[in-house]
Each structure stands twice: as C-alpha cells, then as structure tokens.
C-alpha cells in the first residue's frame, strides 16, 4: 500500500461515522475506481470512549484536530468538525499550509472564509473540495463546477434545508401548527434544540452563498443575502396558498442581473405541480437555469449520515485520481468582486393576507391603493366576517398579485397600513412561478 492515499478524519459525528461505513463497505471498489487504495491513518474526535461501530485501534488518534492536520502520515484532511471559526478553521488552514488536500462539509466556513481558503489551497497546489457542504448527497457542486462549464448560468434556486422542508410539509399535509411540528422535528433529530440556524434561514443562506460563487464566478458574499425564515408562517397561510394553487417552501434564490447579483432566502409560494413544489419532507432540490442546457433540477437527500458521507468520499476519490480543479471553478484571484443588484430588485408575484374591518369601503380602498402603484390582482379570496363581543367585525382578505417590482408592493402595503381599514400587520410572501 505504498501508493495509498492516507486520510485523516477530524470529527467522528454522524457524517464522520458514515465515511467510516463507506470505507469499510466499499474499500476495494473505491481502490479500483480511484486507481489506488484509500487508507484511514488518523482520526480526531472529542472522546475516544464512544462506540462508533468501527475498530480504530490501528489508526493514530489525535485529541487536537490541528495536530492531525500537520501529521506526516496524512495526505488528505477530512474536516467534519463544523463551524465558521475555531478548531474547524484552524484545522483547514493548517492542513493547507502543510500542503495537504482538504475535503470539508463545512458550509459556514466556506461561506465566510471560502475565498481566502481557496487562495491558500491554490498557492500550495492542493485541492479544497466541498461537495458535502451543500445539499448533502446531491452532486450540485460538481454539476456547477464541471457539468455546466459550457453554460452561462442566470439563476440558481432551491430547497436547501431539510428541517424547514419537513416542517412546512407536515403543516400542509397534517394541518398542524409550526410550533407543534417543530417540536416533533426536534424529537426525531431533524431539528436542533436551538433551531434558529435552520428555521431562521441562515443555513440556507450559507449554502446559497457558495452556489452563487460557483454559478456566477463572483467572490463569496453571505453578508449581502436578504434572509427571512419560516417562523412567521401560519397554518392559515399554508391553507390559503393551497386554495390558490400554491405550496409554501423556504427557497434560496440567486439571480444574475446586469446591475449585479440578487441573493435572497425566504418563504415562497411555488405553483402546485412544479418540480420544486413536489419536493417534500427532508428532501432538497436545486434548480439551475443555464443558457444552453435550459432548466436542470437535482433532487435528493440533503442531509444525513450516509448521503453526506457519500459526497465526502466522492471528493476523496477525485483527489486519489489526481483530479484537481480550482476551488470555485476558476482561480480564486479571478473571482469577480461581488456587486449587489439594487436593493429589492426582485420582480414577481406576491401573496398578501390582510385582516380588514368589515365595513363599506375597506376593499375598495385596498384596490385603489394597489391600482395607484400599478399593481394588478390575479386572484382574491374573501371570507365572511368574524366578530366577538370585544372587537368590531373583521374579515380575512387574501390576494395574489401579477408580477410587480418589490418596491411597489412594499410601498402599497405601507399605504394600506396607514389607511385605517387594516387590523394587525399585513402578511406578504413572495411568489416564484418557476
């Protein structure tokens, strides 16, 4: 095994253990496909006592992952620690400085430090591979970096967080509240005890920032993403959307405009029957619009031990074959500076949910304001009034607009709020007609 590619794995959680499973199950096949054996020589984790289902007695154990990254018997450092700073960042930087290839599943690290790390890797002539960082086992990185090299990509979007997709699917299918389904997702291990990173849209934003760089050849810029989560989505919104022919999904969307790049993460109405709308549960889906290939959608499991480990091992095999590309498809020094499109450049339809005082002139006032802002209405749902002993009668009023610019709808909503006919805050959700 003199020509074996020697791996050091930093982090033996669910994904790290999944990598061990694949190496054990398919070691011979991997050697054949890679043209050389792949040997595990070192590991690092928080505790040695945990039973991971594998005999690790013959590999070097490092309590400090940074020390593993500098070990002479390691050719490739597989970083599965997680987090944008701390041990994960130090481990990757040390590996690259020592001329070692790196494979990582760490989207936060790449979203915040990807360009600097890419420059470090390229300076040393080594690979920094990260297929597992976006959409788990779905080969979206390889697709953008290699398969679509002959295309100019104009838009990339999709469902990139399985936790949010699971919650929204359960709410729609079972008529349950956000809080109820979130609690279930936490019990099942789909959501963390503190779910903010997922349901707040930040996980999706990290993944979108990486895809944006690959798709458009720009420097990674997570700070420019407009982020909204799904915490405010109600069962009423989901029912209204269904009645109007839509489902609600959390999407990450990046679009190239002449003026710059538009990046946004938010709950979105998508038409029933469209491919993305049929991606349910913990599954992810990413759509790429290229000028020659047209629309391409990749769907699959976006997280989990074995799907994510599958992507990690694919990156390792590429390194074993001697296949190396610039980290973001082109040399890091040639990535264009990120330029944001004008604020709120989004053009599309909008779902608007209002609670109006049930009195003459309320609906007419809303219609007049929308007309003033050149916003036309595609469809309306108006339900009967509800009343109580302590409040005047009110009535739900839901509408879908034709395509309009976001500044126009925001201006109209501000005027509607001041007009005296609305109870509470209007609810506005973007529509992607795909």
Query: Does 207 participate in catalysis according to the annotation?
Result: yes
Those residues whose C-beta lies under 8 Å from the C-beta of residue 60, and which sit 6 or more positions away, are 41, 42, 43, 68, 71, 73
Question: What pLDDT does 372 receive?
Answer: 94
Q: 5-133 sits in which CATH class?
A: alpha beta
> 347-431 sits in which CATH class?
alpha beta
Strand blocks (E) in 235-293: 246-257, 260-271, 283-290
Q: In this structure, what is the dihedral angle of CA atoms 252, 168, 274, 107, given to the nearest 10 degrees?
A: 30
Give the active site residue among 100, 207, 249, 289: 207
Residue 312: its pLDDT value, please? 98
Q: Could you give the CA distance from residue 51 to residue 66 in angstroms, rounded to a whole number?
A: 23
- Residues of the chain within CATH 3.30.70.260 domain(s) are 347-431
CA distances from 405 to 134, 259, 373, 378 (A): 30, 15, 10, 15
Mean pLDDT of successive 10-residue segments in the chain (434 residues)?
Answer: 91 96 97 97 93 93 97 98 96 98 98 98 98 95 96 97 96 96 90 92 98 98 96 94 95 95 96 94 96 96 92 98 96 96 77 91 92 92 59 83 92 92 91 84
CATH homologous superfamily of 140-301: Dihydrodipicolinate Reductase; domain 2 (3.30.360.10)
Region(s) of the chain under CATH 3.30.360.10: 140-301
Longest dimension (CA), the chain: 85
Whether pTM > 0.85 for this model: the answer is yes
- What are 240's two structure tokens? 């209204």
């Amino acid at each position: 095994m003199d020509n074996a590619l020697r791996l050091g794995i930093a982090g033996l959680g669910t994904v790290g253990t999944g990598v061990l499973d694949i190496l054990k199950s398919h070691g011979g096949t991997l050697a054949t496909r890679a043209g050389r054996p792949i040997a595990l020589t070192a590991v690092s984790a928080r505790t040695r006592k945990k039973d991971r289902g594998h005999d690790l007695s013959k590999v070097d154990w490092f309590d400090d992952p940074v020390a593993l990254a500098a070990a002479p018997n390691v050719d490739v450092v597989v970083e599965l620690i997680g987090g944008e700073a701390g041990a994960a960042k130090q481990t990757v930087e040390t590996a690259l400085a020592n001329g070692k290839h790196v494979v990582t599943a760490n989207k936060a690290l790449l979203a915040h430090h990807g360009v600097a790390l890419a420059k470090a890797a390229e300076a040393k002539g080594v690979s920094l591979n990260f297929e597992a960082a976006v959409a788990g086992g779905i080969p979206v990185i390889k697709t953008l970096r290699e398969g679509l090299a002959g295309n100019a990509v104009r838009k990339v979007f999709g469902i990139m967080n399985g936790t949010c997709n699971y919650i929204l699917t359960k709410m729609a299918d079972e008529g349950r509240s956000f809080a109820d389904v979130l609690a279930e997702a936490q019990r099942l291990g789909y959501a963390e005890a503190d779910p903010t990173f997922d349901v707040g849209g930040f996980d999706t934003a990290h993944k979108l920032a990486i895809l944006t760089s690959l798709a458009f050849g720009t420097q990674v810029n997570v700070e420019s993403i407009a982020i909204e989560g799904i915490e405010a989505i109600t069962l009423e919104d989901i029912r209204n959307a269904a009645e109007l022919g839509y489902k609600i999904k959390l999407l990450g969307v990046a679009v190239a405009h002449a003026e710059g790049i538009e990046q946004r993460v938010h709950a979105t109405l998508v038409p029933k029957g469209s491919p993305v709308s049929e991606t349910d549960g913990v599954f992810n889906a990413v759509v790429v619009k290229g000028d020659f290939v047209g629309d391409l959608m990749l769907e699959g499991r976006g997280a989990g031990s074995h799907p994510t480990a599958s992507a990690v091992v694919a990156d390792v095999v590429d390194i074993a074959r001697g296949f190396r590309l610039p980290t973001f498809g082109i040399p890091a020094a040639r990535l264009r500076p990120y330029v944001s499109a004008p604020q709120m450049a989004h053009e599309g339809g909008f779902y608007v949910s209002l609670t109006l005082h049930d009195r003459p002139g309320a609906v007419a006032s809303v219609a007049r304001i929308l007309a003033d802002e050149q916003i036309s209405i595609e469809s309306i749902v108006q339900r009967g009034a509800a009343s109580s002993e302590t409040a005047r009668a009110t009535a739900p009023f839901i509408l879908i607009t034709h395509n309009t610019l976001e500044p126009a709808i925001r201006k109209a909503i501000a005027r509607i709020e001041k007009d005296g006919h609305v109870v509470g805050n209007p609810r506005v959700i973007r529509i992607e007609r795909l």
